Structure 1
Amino acid sequence: MKVTNLTTDQAVLTEVGRRMADYRLQRHMTQSQFAEAAGVSKRTVERLEAGDSVQLINLVRALRVLEKLDGLDRFLPDAPANPIDLLERQGKVRQRARPDARPDDDATQPWRWGDEA
């Protein structure tokens, strides 16, 4: 089954559970052996494979045993850096100028066009 944005939440959980069971069986592991290797209860493995909700840490532990944890980088890669965040990380904070201010503004002198003799 192909998982898309239109797939229901329950269908996604069921598909993840089916795939986890398939990988476990390819490794010739029982649910009990898999649970012990992952550091979770056998009931947690049963819930995971049935498509029931489990804690995220238990999914991470199961993926680690199946050597599929690196798959997280493919389905949820790092977000691209925001240019403003990059500037702030470099210590350069963007400052906004006042709309009525000029860099050479001197409040003690009257304003001139600059072409007076």
Structure 2
Amino acid sequence: MRIDNLLSDDAVIAELGQRLAALRLARQITQAQLADAAGISKRTVERIEGGASTQLTNVIRYLRGLGAVGLLEGLLPPLAANPIDLLEGRGKRRQRARPSATEEPAAAWVWGEDK
């Protein structure tokens, strides 16, 4: 199944669980062996592969137990620097998002004799 924006969160988690289980089986590792190598419980391995919601740290430990943490690099590769920014010497990494532009409130109207 292809993972895209049309799938529900539960469907994405279930698909990831199936893919992780297939990866484990392709490496001829039992759930118990993986749990021991990853430092998580066998029940956590079962939950991940069964498509149950879990903490991201458990998924990272699962991948570490398989020796496959590097697969996360393909999930969100680092953004390349913008060539225009490099030319202008603005190669600094962004620290925060720019706030939306807000207009200054107009000064309160005052009667001519009140000035």
User: What's 2:5 paired with?
Assistant: 5
Q: How many residues align?
A: 88
User: What's 1:32 paired with?
Assistant: 32
Deviations 1:61-117 (A, max 9, x none): 111222322121112011344639x6384xxxxxxxxxxxxxxxxxxxxxxxxxxxx
SS in 1 for 2:90: helix
Deviations 1:30-66 (A, max 9, x none): 2111100110001100110010111111101111222
Larger deviation, residues 4-13 vs 64-73? 64-73
Distance 2:2 2:91 in 1: 41
TM-score (ref. length: structure 1): 0.66
**Counterparts in 2 of 1:88 and 1:27: CA distance versus 1, 3 Å:** closer
User: What's 1:97 paired with?
Assistant: none
Q: Which has the larger radius of gyration?
A: 1
Query: Taking every aligned residue pair, what percent have the same amino acid on both sides?
Result: 48
TM-score (ref. length: structure 2): 0.67
User: Is the CA contact (8 Å cut-off) linking 2:81 and 2:91 kept in structure 1?
Assistant: no
Distance 2:31 2:91 in 1: 49
Distance 1:67 1:61 in 2: 10
SS in 1 for 2:52: coil
User: What's 2:90 paired with?
Assistant: 87
User: What's 1:92 paired with?
Assistant: none
Q: Aligned AA for 2:33?
A: Q
Unaligned segments of structure 2, at least 5 residues: 93-115
Q: Is 2:51 the partner of 1:51? A: yes
Unaligned segments of structure 1, at least 5 residues: 90-117
Q: Aligned AA for 1:87?
A: R
Structure 1 vs Structure 2 CA RMSD:
1.9
